[in-house]
Structure 1
């Protein structure tokens, strides 16, 4: 049995071992991932890979709570983080109320909040009220419409400095860890060096304290598109289609169910 991570153990990993995090949205896959990763993120990415939506923005707090409960049921000994969805952290009061709802209705260990310096006061408010917060800086999927697309950060001086300032502000506000997404490797490496808390990368190069990927991307099950930063560790979509095709063919031929599948 893999030892359950805590905030202390995750933070003590910085500089000594790489951390692994993967998304999950249900009990079945959470149970399959639990022994292999340090953390499971119930990502708002479920709105795309699970609900078939074009972006993450329309997922609700109720949906996030539902899926977080499912993941916690499937992986009770794994550190679980719930993404706070778009529109749920617009003010300190709203963010606190919604995060308290997550903690009351699930056994999640932490919540994740997108945004930089402009979200620092919110992170501080939650941390001061006993809610562990993972920050998220760099490319922000919840800002995709406002920014006119998914834009890599750190390619120009202005965005480079903004991400550095954002990471420092979120750490100072009390976040226990930080996701950095869609930035140049040089920027991610600098943020990782300057932050005392673990920095988990996605599309941010190899010099962060750990990595996170969306499970349906890395298992090759999501076919709509493949981000540049994704490595497919399995051609899942082909394997599933082949299995279903075999099942269908056997049913049509009368080969399934066979004698061994029948009750006596």
Structure 2
């Protein structure tokens, strides 16, 4: 399934990806035509009520991967490797990645650039498909000083291009860009050998991903904060508000990604 999707993407078909955390939505998304269900560590925020992804652990990811796979046995499933599960030891990274694959994932996602290339290469060599996550990486939110656009300077843009090329050369299947200037994400997409996924990275990527709760317009920030204190990122669009029906909202999102109508310029940096 993953190889067929990558072949279509390389032929020019846009990839529509959404986060998914349970069997009910997994089934609904598959029926709506979503290409990839991302079991994201974003569950720490939208499911567990935290203000970051940092407390999500392997047990959380394995549980949610299993139930998403149960709901959509024919879907392509990507699972995030949570913070602390892959960064420090190759053997541990492989064991955790293989556990996610055994739970039902077809590909795992790791965050970080140059310093994670060897990890990505090792996982690929051991038969684990990998998606590299570049740009704003939520697991490094403290190091990055908050939720900030990445790749704005010439030096940072050159480094991101080099990281993306290194990851592609290491054998990753996809590269995901988060909160990256649209022109940069488009340039990198045109200059690497694997498809790209964007979130706040413009329409020039090979596909798009959104967090389900953002697509439905129901996420208003961490549990301990008031909704009034939450400012949604510009790359979010409330598709439920347009349709009034959850399944139709997801169908509309898929159609908008496939046609290139989403994201618009106003969703990009």
Q: Same fold (TM over 0.5)?
A: yes
Instruction: Map 1:1-264 to 2 at 5 A.
Output: 5-35=1-31, 36-90=33-87, 91-104=89-102, 106-224=103-221, 225=230, 226-235=232-241
Shift of 1:239: 8.9
Q: What TM-score do you get using the length of structure 1 for normalisation?
A: 0.85
- Using the alignment, how far apart are the partners of 1:230 and 1:15 within structure 2? 27
- Using the alignment, how far apart are the partners of 1:230 and 1:73 within structure 2? 28
- Using the alignment, how far apart are the partners of 2:238 and 2:10 within structure 1? 26
SS in 2 for 1:54: coil
- Using the alignment, how far apart are the partners of 1:92 and 1:162 within structure 2? 24
Q: What TM-score do you get using the length of structure 2 for normalisation?
A: 0.83
- Using the alignment, how far apart are the partners of 1:9 and 1:230 within structure 2? 25
- Using the alignment, how far apart are the partners of 2:5 and 2:54 within structure 1? 32
- Using the alignment, how far apart are the partners of 1:138 and 1:155 within structure 2? 10
Shift of 1:8: 3.9
Shift of 1:63: 0.4
* Structure with max Cα Rg: 1
- Using the alignment, how far apart are the partners of 1:87 and 1:7 within structure 2? 29
Partner deviation per Cα, 1:59-96 (whole Å, 9 max, x = no partner): 00110000000100111110001100011112222211
Shift of 1:7: 2.0
Q: Report how many aligned residue pairs link the two structures.
A: 234
SS in 1 for 2:133: strand
- Using the alignment, how far apart are the partners of 2:119 and 2:60 within structure 1? 22
Higher RCO by CA contacts (8 Å cutoff, separation 6 or greater): 2
Shift of 1:14: 2.0
Contact between 1:138 and 1:163, CA under 8 Å: does it hold in 2?
Answer: yes
SS in 2 for 1:85: coil
Question: Is there any run of 5+ residues in structure 1 with no aligned partner, and where?
Answer: 241-264
- Using the alignment, how far apart are the partners of 2:41 and 2:115 within structure 1? 20
SS in 2 for 1:70: helix
Partner deviation per Cα, 1:197-223 (whole Å, 9 max, x = no partner): 110000000011000000000111112
Shift of 1:108: 1.1
